[in-house]
Amino acid sequence: MNRALKRILEKMVSNNPKIWSTKLDDALWAFRTAYKTPIGTTLFSLVYGKACHIPYKVEHRAFWAIKEVNLDLERAKEKRVMQMHKLEEFRLEAYDNSLAYKENTKRWHDARLKGPKNFYPNDKVLVFNSCFNFSPSKLKSRWTGPYIVKRAYPTGYVELYGNGNTFKVNGHRLKVYRDDINAIELNNIKLYPK
């Protein structure tokens, strides 16, 4: 939520960041009335049971105007009571939408995972360096190592040994290091055609 609010504020005060505190109310309103895909609705409609795209002050003035015109307030009150009764059903539907969204996201993520990686003691592996660098070199590899596998856990973590240190890493960040190139295969490789 904080990240989303920060993005909204950055867009609103891009030319003058000093006025962020005056724009905070507008940013919160935009966040609360924006459609959220995981729940299938807006946060405002989850709380109040209806969609709203105008500020409360304007809506309150509109209600005062309706009251002064002497419209049928009793019928409007009954309608609002019915909407409040439907609100719990509406929230349950949003909860179900959220669960379905999470299941679909998990299924999508799991489908892209590669099969289980089996590492055994004394295997050599490379570790993917996921640290963000501000100026990474184009030709610099993101893989560090090789490290030696000390122990593989059934939960997917692997204990590695290298450079005098022992540390644990998630198995998804590892790949097998191949240093056993056959001399025959090396001789069969032709770099330049004759």
Closest CA to 145 of 110, 115, 178, 118: 178
pLDDT for the residue 149? 94
pLDDT for the residue 150? 93
| Average pLDDT of the residues in 65-89 | 72
Burial class (CB in 10 A: 0-12, 13-18, 19+), 127: buried
Question: In this structure, what is the dihedral angle of CA atoms 89, 92, 93, 98, given to the nearest 10 degrees?
Answer: 160
- The Cα 38–Cα 95 span in angstroms is 9
Which of 35-39, 59-63, 124-128 ranks highest by mean pLDDT? 124-128
Summarize pLDDT for 153-182 with one digit per residue, the tens. Answer: 888 889 999 888 899 998 888 888 887 655
| pTM higher than the cut 0.75 | no
Beta bridge partners of 128: 143
Task: Name the residue ranges covered by the structural domains of the chain.
Answer: 34-112, 124-188
Residues 6+ apart with CB under 8 A from 45: 51, 52, 90
Hey, is 170 helix, strand or coil?
A: strand
Domain 124-188 sits in CATH at 2.30.30
Hey, is 126 helix, strand or coil?
A: strand
Mean pLDDT of the chain: 77
Summarize pLDDT for 25-36 with one digit per residue, the tens. Answer: 888 877 887 777
pLDDT tier, 39 (very low <50, low <70, confident <90, very high otherwise): confident
Q: Which region holds residue 20: left if phi is over 0, alpha if psi is between -120 and 50, else beta?
A: alpha
